[in-house]
Structure 1
Amino acid sequence: MTDALPHGDFRFIALDVETSCGDSASICQIGLACVGLDRSIQTWSAFVDPLMPFAPFNVELHGISAKTVENAPTFAEIWPKLQVLLTRHAIVQHSRFDEHAINAACKAHGLYQPRLSWSNSVTIARTAWPGLKGNGGHGLANLKQHLSLEFQHHDAGEDARAAALVVLRAEVELSKPFEQITSNNTAFQLSFSF
């Protein structure tokens, strides 16, 4: 099915998803980057059968097709284990797309979504590197260049790791831990249930 999820306690978990089409619920890959107390990063990713068609634009963007997810679990099969891990940690996303996709997938599959604590690494990056505004911006592609990050863009595991690295670099840049950075910025709670 999928590799075992990371286990233990983490400072925060960065999460990224890829979708098969324009429908936010069409998650076809989920990636996590779990940041330990020692700043180490454990990454995990899994393909997901979105039970929806694949749009040519999306396939070209991330390279995931219907054939790639042929024997993959559905979101409904993978979410129960994921939520156990995610509810115990602060979650980082790069923009709010991932939060919207998780919400949409929960709704589409009729699943309960527990309270999750989301932070946005775009806002964290804006605080740490304000000079990038109007100079390429704070998207992962530009941050990759500016911070000399190495990752494969539009792979959920790699993008999650990149978001985690952005936060870790911002901690150094701002001389503040993640908890202080997010308390001043975009840590927000979300509750959604059926």
Structure 2
Amino acid sequence: MDFVALDFETANFKRNSACSIALTVVRNDRIVDEFYSLINPQVPFNQRNIQIHGIRPEDVSNAPTFLELWPHLSPLFAPNKLIVAHNATFDCSVLKNTLAYYDIANPQFLVLDTLRTSRSYFKNFENYKLNTVCEQLEIQLQNHHNALDDSLACANILLYQLREFGLNDISRFIKSI
């Protein structure tokens, strides 16, 4: 299966405040590439968000804006391309709102949420937070809330689920947005 696992961190509670992005590229069920960048969100940071991910305004002062990054990332968000995220509602909302902030058209692509698949497949977990699912499945997650580590963990969750449940069953979770 081919897909791209996506994770954002945000500067504040607004969904247009992406301050880091990571993409883990999977082809033929193998991780083949990773991308990580800090993003200058051009909006104020909230202390609570800083506590969660550790990214501070000074860390992103010289980082590219999302507008500068998008031309390099947009080919991954094309029709029939599958984007995977753990809590895809959040990450897709960050993408949509950040694109709107810069007046960029929202692309059409396929999405799969490993939060939803985990809730469906693993009924006995205490909760379905990324770190809990990783712990239960013995998937390495070094730095939770580091976008690259989170996207890599998400990719590994789906790869685990593909091995255990097969593509035919997993495909029922894929939606077009």
Question: TM-score normalised to the size of structure 1?
Answer: 0.84
For residue 181 of structure 1, report the CA deviation from its aligned partner.
3.4
SS of the counterpart of 1:60? helix
Is the counterpart of residue 181 in structure 1 residue 169 in structure 2?
Answer: yes
Q: Distance in 2 between matches of 1:181 and 1:64?
A: 38
Contact 1:41 1:161 in 2 (8 A): no
Q: Which residue of 1 aligns with 2:108?
A: 115
User: Do the aligned partners of 1:106 and 1:112 also contact (CA within 8 Å) in 2?
Assistant: yes
Residue 157 of structure 2 corresponds to: 166
**Match 2:84 to one of 78, 84, 92:** 92
CA distance 1:102–1:38, shift in 2 (3 Å):
closer
Q: Report if aligned partners of 2:24, 2:31 keep a CA contact under 8 Å in 1.
A: no
Other structure's SS at 2:59 match:
coil
Q: Number of aligned residue pairs: give it.
A: 174
Residues 16-68 of structure 1 show CA distances to partners (whole Å, capped at 9, x for unaligned) of 00000011100000001111215234221100000001111111110101111
RMSD between aligned alpha carbons? 1.5
Q: Distance in 1 between matches of 2:54 and 2:138?
A: 24
**Would you identify which runs of 4 or more consecutive aligned residues in structure 1 move more than 3 Å?**
none
* Residues in 1 aligned to 2:82 and 2:72: alpha-carbon distance in whole angstroms: 16
Residue 145 of structure 1 corresponds to which residue in structure 2?
Answer: 135
Q: Is 1:127–2:157 an aligned residue pair?
A: no
Gap regions ≥5 residues in structure 1: 1-9
Q: Could you tell me how far apart the structure 1 residues matched to 2:64 and 2:23 are?
A: 17
Give CA deviations for 1:82-129 in whole Å, capped at 9, x if unaligned. 111221620001111000000010111111122121111111112321
Hey, what's the Cα distance between the residues in 2 that align with 1:167 and 1:38? 9
Residue in structure 2 matched with residue 62 of structure 1 by the alignment? 53
Gaps of 5+ in 2: none
Q: Kindly, what percent of the aligned residue pairs are identical?
A: 28
- Paired letter, 1:148: E
Higher helix share: 2
